[in-house]
Amino acid sequence: MSRTDEAAERMPGEPDDLQMQFASTKEAEPLAVDDRTHVLELVVTPAVRVWDRPALAGSPAFKETALRRSALRSPMPITVLVLGLTLLTGCAIDKGTALAEDFERDWTGTPDVANIGTTKNNTLPFRGTSTGTLTLKDGTSTDRVTQLAGEMRDYVARHNKITGRITADGVTFTVVADEERTGEVLALWRSMTADSQVTAADIHDAPWKEATDRWRIEVSAVDATSALTVFKDMLAEGDRYRPLAGVMVLKIKSPGLRIETDFHDSYPTEAIDAYEAVLARYAVVRATVRRDPVSGSAATIVVADSEDRDHAGELARGAAPNLGSAITVTSDNSD
């Protein structure tokens, strides 16, 4: 039988020998997903073609077989699609979740680590980030903390979608891939843990667009006096602390005082002057010294009920004449 005659007798949609040979021998192509390469291989094995046997061509068995084979053709693309989706799902469609699991697995069993905490951010399918924090056991030595920070620095350098953090002696800090910046953070950690005025702190890397050397520091202090002292030391280059080289925002809170800057601010001299002027004369119940987008800084001061609120306000505005309405003084029983 010629190829033309064979094609004429072939059932509609039935591939010829060349097509079947190609389908069964085509090499599987790699599929790259989630930084991993997977191979999805589809093997097609041709069935015996009953029409090659003239004796069976007109038989009922041939018709039944043809009908069955025609019915099986359409599900094949669906089966391949299902297999493909299953493969992709197994390749961390929730990227942040997979990264968190990787971090926990990689650091489990590390000596001196009491707890491993993770967060996950699944931004898009197959994309995301994670933050992993090692909480060290009480009494872990400074040398050991320094060693773990070095190991964490190497780790985040290899896993740029994971932020690595360490908590030791009540102070949590982010470890970055840059060796010099990590050294600065370790020096600040040592200063904080040696300062009895500090009860807890968080030193967090806070990059924004091209500005990569930025830090967000939050400190809890024993009392208002300690909060102001630590704030001055960290921003005014006191004897106890060495400021970080990068831009930073500093927030310090304590019973009675909250004082802060932001990334666009430097030392809030006038607002602090207003606060200290009132504090030197009257009992201050609580106060907030913060940045103001118009005046540069601002202060909200609350004095005890028994104090002269009006005079306290005069003292504050006299110490910071350029702040105007950015200075507010009230009494503890004010609505």
**Cβ(188)–Cβ(244) below 8 Å:** yes
Of 147, 168, 189, which residue is a domain's last? 168
Of 89, 116, 142, which residue is a domain's last? 89
Is position 334 within any domain? no
Is position 297 within any domain? no
Is position 60 within any domain? yes
How many other CB atoms are found less than 10 A from the CB of residue 224? 22
**What string of pLDDT tens digits covers the 335 residues of the chain?**
544 454 445 545 544 544 444 344 444 444 444 444 444 444 444 444 444 444 444 555 444 444 444 444 444 444 444 344 434 434 568 898 999 999 999 999 999 999 999 998 888 888 899 999 999 999 999 999 999 999 999 999 999 899 999 999 999 999 999 999 999 999 999 999 999 999 999 999 876 666 667 889 999 999 999 999 999 888 876 668 877 777 778 999 999 999 998 766 567 889 999 999 999 999 999 999 988 878 888 999 999 999 999 999 999 999 999 999 999 999 987 65
**Cβ(303)–Cβ(284) below 8 Å:** yes
Is position 282 within any domain? no
Radius of gyration of the chain measured on its C-alpha atoms:
35
Tokens of 44: 């097609």
Domain encompassing residue 155: 103-168
Task: Specify the pTM.
Answer: 0.70
Tally of structural domains, the chain: 2
Is position 209 within any domain? no
Same domain, 71 and 148: no
Token pair 């650091």 is found at: 107
Is position 26 within any domain? yes
Is position 113 within any domain? yes
Of 89, 111, 146, which residue is a domain's last? 89
Is position 331 within any domain? no
